[in-house]
Amino acid sequence: MKMKWYSLARLITPILFSLLMLFGILWKNLFLIAILMGSSLFLGAFHCGWLCPFGFIQDILGKLGKALKLPRLKIPAKIDRFLRFSRYILFGLSFLGLGFLYFIGTPYTTVQSFVYGNIAPIGWGVGLYLGAFLILALMTDRPFCRYFCTEGARYGLVSMGRLFSIRRNKESCIDCKLCSKACPMGIDVSQVNHVRNGQCINCFECVAACPKENTLQYGWAFKKSDKETKDEE
């Protein structure tokens, strides 16, 4: 089933979530975070693909960069694989009391500081740091999300046990690899039968790019056939 509605939905939901996030910041509403964590376990890290304002801005800049035909930044495969672990390293180090590492990996915290009027030098520094990623987003898809976002690492780790996921029907797949090219998180969707990856943000770009009807579908993650297929861990 083609998800033609997803583009409009992904345009509206980050705006609505931004308002909800602002409410959560002002009222210190941890209930919102609990909902997102629980939802990630069932549905995957949809927060990153559908709700996160910073991810949404990177998507817009990425499309703008392509429209302007700016040169695309190609990161060598070996470096890319190493960088993908960066956000998990930052996330782990944050538990050691290295608050700054957590701070630079969490746009939510940066926004919170500005809302509370905490415009300290470190706040401006992190603002410039995040601004650099926005410039990079013109030349490569979601650089901050892929390599440094500790919130994405948190939701990604939880989402690896997701109950609903994107599945590929290898029987109808024509191996055009358009799904892999469309993935903003750099997942090689065309090589797996079941996308169970901490990087997956459930944006459905791969589903929309697939030219074969019902080859990529989102649904119940666990089926008997899973024992005979290769999952992406």
Residue 107: name the closest of 60, 154, 73 by CA.
Answer: 154
For 218, phi then psi, to 5°, come to -105, 125
pLDDT at residue 216 tops 80: yes
Confidence of residue 215 (pLDDT cuts 50, 70, 90): very high
- The predicted-structure confidence for 38-86, as pLDDT tens digits, reads as follows 777 777 888 888 888 888 889 999 999 999 999 999 888 888 888 888 8
Write out the H or E segment, with its range, that includes residue 195: strand 194-195
Q: What is the mean pLDDT of the chain?
A: 78
Domain CATH for 174: 3.30.70
State what percent of residues in the chain have pLDDT above 70: 71
Q: Are residues 56 and 114 located together in one domain of the fold?
A: yes
- Asked whether residue 219 is domain-assigned, the answer is yes
- The predicted-structure confidence for 199-214, as pLDDT tens digits, reads as follows 999 899 999 999 998 8
Residue 190 lies in domain: 162-232
- Asked whether residue 121 is domain-assigned, the answer is yes
Altogether, the residues listed in the chain come to a count of 233
Q: CB-based contacts of 37: which residues, under 8 Å, 6+ apart? A: 154, 155, 158
Report the pLDDT value the prediction gives residue 112, as an integer from 0 to 100.
Answer: 54
Tally of domains in the chain: 2
- The predicted-structure confidence for 153-195, as pLDDT tens digits, reads as follows 888 888 888 888 899 998 999 999 999 999 999 999 999 888 8
Q: Which of 127, 158, 189 is the last residue of a domain?
A: 158
* Sign of the CA dihedral running 141, 147, 153, 157: positive
Residue 170: name the closest of 185, 191, 145, 143 by CA.
Answer: 191
Distance CA 205, CA 133 (A): 21
Q: Are residues 25 and 81 located together in one domain of the fold?
A: yes
